[in-house]
Amino acid sequence: MKKISLLIPCYNEEMSLPLLYPELLKLMEGMPAYEWELMFVNDGSIDGTIDALRQLRQQDPRVNYVDLSRNFGKEVAMLAGFDYVTGDCMIIIDADLQDPPSLIPEMVKWWEQGYEDVYARRRTRGKESWLRKFLSMRFYKMLQNSSRFDVLQNVGDFRLLDRCCINALKKMRESERYTKGMYSWIGFKKKEVTFDRGDRVAGKSAWNYRQLFSLAIDGITSFTSLPLRISTVIGFIISLMAFIYMMVVFVKALVWGDPVRGYPSLVMLILFLGGIQLLSLGVIGEYIGRIYNETKNRPDYIVSKFNDERVL
Ligand code: UDP
Ligand code: MG
């Protein structure tokens, strides 16, 4: 019998879990030909999520949970899940029922036909502000134009991954993670299914704009070095212009002499060049900061408990 693991990262989901579990139960009962494993990752929740998970495990031995020692963020929580799931394939699904479990039978069907990465594309995005939708659209356009890998818009983490994909993802241990880019980086045979994304059933989205911005920067820095290239090009263009201007000033001084003038242009130049330099430094800094973090070689996450047992 083939084993399917469901990976569910949870951060403050005590309200959603009682609604999610019956849905998953319905799903598992509808597909008795498979062995099921539920792998919850408690990402340092500060509400009763861990108690809810413990209770679920008592009534259903298929429920497993990894309890992280603090909040590491969804990307890292998913990596912990990759390490712990034991299924022949894995389906990543949000705890808030925004990803409908009813889509899973279709995903499994494609998996049985030999597809190794069956991802769900949202036709609609549920309740979100127009600003978030707009920024998200711009971000994906930019990422697509600047890197060799297709990071698909309106495709989230809701997908089925074959064991070969899980093993590939487990080898990617960087700590500033952008998993959406990794799915396309690892390759394998992909298949798209579509669905309408609903709203959260309970609780509220843990992402704020600052975190989304930081995720976006992670996405850019881990999949393209285009910003560095842009700095180089801007630096080159400005140097060229500066050289031409230098010749003009030099010739003018030779031919007409050089009375002291040009304070406004001087100030403008200093401020403009200073700005460009700081900007480029910032770009370089973003990359160096990440190099620094990776060279520390810390574990990506710390597990405090796995299924009621302390991990030492
Ligand atoms: N999540 C997590 N750690 C975090 C933030 C979120 O494990 O630091 C989980 C959360 O419990 C949910 C999923 O990631 O299962 C998606 O989060 P959310 O619904 O807040 O994001 P959105 O749907 O708004 O993109
Ligand atoms: Mg959500």
For ligand 1, the distance from its centroid to the CA atom of residue 222, given in whole angstroms, is: 21
Instruction: Identify the three-state secondary structure at position 131.
Output: helix
Our mutation pick for probing the ligand 1 site, out of 7, 10, 157, 159, counting the most ligand atoms within 8 A of Cβ, is 10
On the question of pLDDT at 229 being above 70, the answer is: yes
Whole-angstrom distance, CA of residue 149 vs CA of residue 93: 23
Which residues sit with Cβ closer than 5 angstroms to ligand 2, an ion?
A: 96, 98
Q: Which fold has domain 3-211+300-310?
A: Spore Coat Polysaccharide Biosynthesis Protein SpsA; Chain A (3.90.550)
Nearest to 95 by CA among 203, 205, 9: 9
Alpha carbon of 151 to ligand 1 centroid (Å): 20
Q: Are 41 and 48 in contact (CB under 8 A)?
A: no
Q: Is 42 in the pocket of ligand 1 (CB under 6 A)?
A: no
Paired sense of beta strands 63-68 and 303-306, if any: antiparallel
User: What mean pLDDT comes out for the span 1-17?
Assistant: 93
> What does pLDDT average to over the chain?
86
What is the C-alpha R_g of the chain? 25
H helices of 85-205, where?
104-112, 130-146, 163-170, 179-186
Q: Are the C-beta atoms of residues 182 and 169 closer than 8 Å to each other?
A: yes
Give residue 91's pLDDT. Answer: 95
List the residue whose alpha carbon is closest to atom 12 of ligand 1.
94
Atom of ligand 1 nearest to the CA of 71: 8
Output the residue whose Cα is nearest ligand 1's atom 8: 73
Question: Does residue 222 carry a pLDDT above 80?
Answer: no
CA 252 from chain centre, in angstroms, equals: 56
In whole angstroms, what is the distance from residue 291 CA to residue 294 CA?
5
- Measured CA to CA, the distance from residue 256 to residue 45 in angstroms comes to 74
CA distance 200 to 125: 11
Answer yes or no: are the C-beta atoms of 235 and 278 closer than 8 Å. Answer: no
End-to-end CA distance of the chain, in Å? 33
Q: Tell me how far the alpha carbon of residue 94 lies from the centroid of ligand 2, in angstroms.
A: 6
Question: Domain map of the chain by residue range?
Answer: 3-211+300-310, 226-295
pTM of the entire structure? 0.79
Query: 91-106 pLDDT, tens per residue?
Result: 999 998 888 999 999 9
239: buried, middle or exposed (CB in 10 Å: 19+, 13-18, 0-12)?
exposed
Q: Name which residue leads in pLDDT, 277 or 64.
A: 64
- Asked if the model's pLDDT at residue 206 lies above 70, the reply is no
Which residue's alpha carbon is nearest to atom 18 within ligand 1?
A: 205
CA separation for the pair 87, 208 (Å, rounded)? 33
| Spacing, Cα 10 to ligand 1 middle (Å) | 7
What CA–CA distance (Å, rounded) separates 102 from 296? 42
3-state class of 297 per DSSP? coil
What pLDDT shows up at residue 126? 67
Question: Considering only 67-71, 76-80, 159-163, 287-291, which range has the smallest mean pLDDT?
Answer: 287-291
- Laid out side by side, the sheet with 303-306 consists of 190-196, 117-124, 155-162, 89-92, 3-10, 35-42, 63-68, 303-306, 309-310
